Amino acid sequence: MRRLKLRSSGRTPSRVVATALLTAGLIGVAALPAAADPSGEPQPPKAGEDVCSISDQRLSTLVGLAADGDGYWAVADGSVNMSQLDVIQLDGSCKVKKTVTAYRGGGPADPVDPQDLAIDKDGRLWVADFADPAKTRDRIALWRVDPKDPNKSELYRLTYPGGEKHDSTALLLTPDGKPLVVTKDARSAVLFAPTGELKDGQTVELKEAGKFEFKATDTPGGPIGPPGQVVATGAAVSADGSKAVIRTYTDAYEWNVTGGDVAKAITGGAPLRTALPDEAVGEAIAYKDGKFVTGSQDEGSGAALRSYDPVVPETPKAESKDEGDSRSFFDKLTLDQIIWIIVGVGIVGLVLAGVGVFVIVRSRKARAAAAAKPSGQAEDAIDDHLRGRRGGPRDEEDPRERGFGPPRERVQEERGFAPPPQDRPGYREEPYRAPDRRYGPPEPRPAAEPRPDRRPPSPRPGGGGAVYGGGGNYEREPHRREDDARPDFGIPDDRR
């Protein structure tokens, strides 16, 4: 980060412009609410532990830090000294132990604007000369300095693919010594890797190797407020290569690295976020003893180092086997299970509705077809439909065919499909006369002749009938046979 205070070096106005451009490009972020933490559960901001303060003014604009044994290596941006590249060694209390000035080609190295620092397994220092806030550099530079022999420093030139231009302020050095350039783009960090082997004095094109999107947080600090939460300012890889971290002005994002593939871990993995609150201009970060050590520029008082414990993912507590779950069945259901139950009930209801509609339509079609046929055919159609088949011979097993149950004619008359009487089986024009006269009306019989031994009944007084007092004589029934003897029970004939 460029300091806002004007300096006599002549480079300070460009730093003011850089800050203005960055703030303008990210001004929309300030209005955004804090987003969900990429690491899952958000961690409350916790202040870091003060390690030491750097009194040497050459490091007042500290931008790069690398841990080495009990001390550190540090580098400032190009605003302090633009004529040479100085890497300063500090002890554990931030006192200067040694200054290494890089030389190349018989003269001091002349970097444009260093932004980060890393150290490889051989103890060589890699200085990231990446800064380009105005997007005017055709290529960026990477310096490799051996503290034991700084006169043989190497310079590697890099270009972005397709002529792109980026302002980059962070460097990741993989365990096998391959550098990754980390851009300072708005709301994202794009990773670029060299497409070929690095050679001193030669230019190698970069290729995109990964990307990580930042989200706004609620961590206070930084020189530009909320926009500073979503730009990369520094990066580091642990000495064993198992961890990688990218920091912003307010937070640090850490990934687990497998197989030394840092770009893959950052692009596809889920980081853990550690808040770095209240750092004035925090750009440097390094690993030391499993902790983060950060460097921040403090206006008017130089730079300071702080230590933070990286956030560790919480281990879920194992439930005791002895403890029973007293919740009801419905309380145990998850939202997905409830949704599937509702879907299942809906499907069953649709199936039942479909079956009901099919039965109703089929029944209506059968009745309509039967109504359109003559009466005799309608009778057979209804019978066939009731038997569950269409057409064919009559079912001899049907109880109605064998004489059981109500007569067919009565059933058909009740249903409104009875044929005319002359079409019914067994119809006769004359009523049936059974030989033994047990069925049908009685045959007329001849009138009985009067018996000589009986006198005719005398007329009743008053001319009334024989029963109700009306006129007429009482006579025997004309159909009574002569041989129909009746007992007299001792009653005279004239009294019968």
Backbone angles phi, psi at 272, to 5 degrees: -105, 130
DSSP for 258-292, please give it: STT-HHHHHHHSPPEEEE-TT-SSEEEEEEETTEE
Q: Which residue has the higher pLDDT, 369 or 277?
A: 277
Report the pLDDT value the prediction gives residue 488, as an integer from 0 to 100: 57
If you average pLDDT over residues 32-38, what whole number do you get?
Answer: 44
Report the pLDDT value the prediction gives residue 371, as an integer from 0 to 100: 74
Report the pLDDT value the prediction gives residue 431, as an integer from 0 to 100: 53
How large a percentage of the chain has pLDDT more than 90? 47
Q: How far apart are CA 367 and CA 301, in angstroms?
A: 101
The pLDDT tens digits for 95-111 are 999 999 999 877 888 89
Report the pLDDT value the prediction gives residue 372, as an integer from 0 to 100: 72
Report the pLDDT value the prediction gives residue 27, as an integer from 0 to 100: 45
In 3D space, the residue among 236, 233, 223 whose CA is nearest the CA of residue 167 turns out to be 233
The pLDDT tens digits for 57-73 are 899 999 999 999 999 99
The pLDDT tens digits for 294-335 are 999 876 668 999 999 999 886 655 544 445 566 777 677 777
Mean pLDDT is lowest, of 136-145, 216-225, 433-442, for: 433-442
Report the pLDDT value the prediction gives residue 365, as an integer from 0 to 100: 84
**Band of the pLDDT at 362, cuts 50, 70, 90?**
confident
Q: Is the pLDDT score of 33 beyond 50?
A: no
Q: Which residue has the higher pLDDT, 235 or 476?
A: 235
Q: Which residue has the higher pLDDT, 154 or 27?
A: 154
Report the pLDDT value the prediction gives residue 299, as an integer from 0 to 100: 62
Mean pLDDT is lowest, of 33-37, 417-421, 433-437, for: 33-37
If you average pLDDT over residues 32-52, what whole number do you get?
Answer: 64
- Does the predicted model carry a pTM greater than 0.85? no
The pLDDT tens digits for 241-291 are 999 999 999 999 999 999 999 999 999 989 999 999 999 999 999 999 999
Q: Which residue has the higher pLDDT, 295 or 496?
A: 295
In 3D space, the residue among 238, 244, 295, 276 whose CA is nearest the CA of residue 88 turns out to be 295
**Bridge partners, residue 234, by sequence:** 247
Q: How far apart are CA 58 and CA 76, in angstroms?
A: 7
Question: Residues 432, 439: contact at Cβ < 8 Å?
Answer: yes
Report the pLDDT value the prediction gives residue 192, as an integer from 0 to 100: 97
Q: Is the pLDDT score of 463 beyond 90?
A: no
In 3D space, the residue among 479, 478, 475 whose CA is nearest the CA of residue 466 turns out to be 475
Q: Is the pLDDT score of 20 beyond 50?
A: no
**Band of the pLDDT at 4, cuts 50, 70, 90?**
very low
| Ramachandran area for residue 148 (φ above 0: left; ψ -120 to 50: alpha; else beta) | alpha
User: What radius of gyration, in Å, describes the C-alpha atoms of the chain?
Assistant: 57
The pLDDT tens digits for 385-433 are 555 544 455 555 555 555 545 556 565 666 665 556 655 555 555 554 5
If you average pLDDT over residues 166-191, what whole number do you get?
Answer: 94
If you average pLDDT over residues 171-189, what whole number do you get?
Answer: 94
The pLDDT tens digits for 132-141 are 999 999 999 9
If you average pLDDT over residues 118-126, what whole number do you get?
Answer: 95
How large a percentage of the chain has pLDDT more than 70? 62
Q: Is the pLDDT score of 79 beyond 80?
A: no
The pLDDT tens digits for 447-462 are 666 666 666 665 555 5
3-state percent helix, strand, coil for the chain, nearest multiple of 5:
20, 25, 50
H/E stretch holding 24 reads helix 12-25
Q: How far apart are CA 265 and CA 235, in angstroms?
A: 14
Report the pLDDT value the prediction gives residue 17, as an integer from 0 to 100: 42
What is the separation, in whole angstroms, between the first and last Cα of the chain? 150
Q: Is the pLDDT score of 128 beyond 80?
A: yes
Q: Is the pLDDT score of 115 beyond 90?
A: yes
Report the pLDDT value the prediction gives residue 1, as an integer from 0 to 100: 42
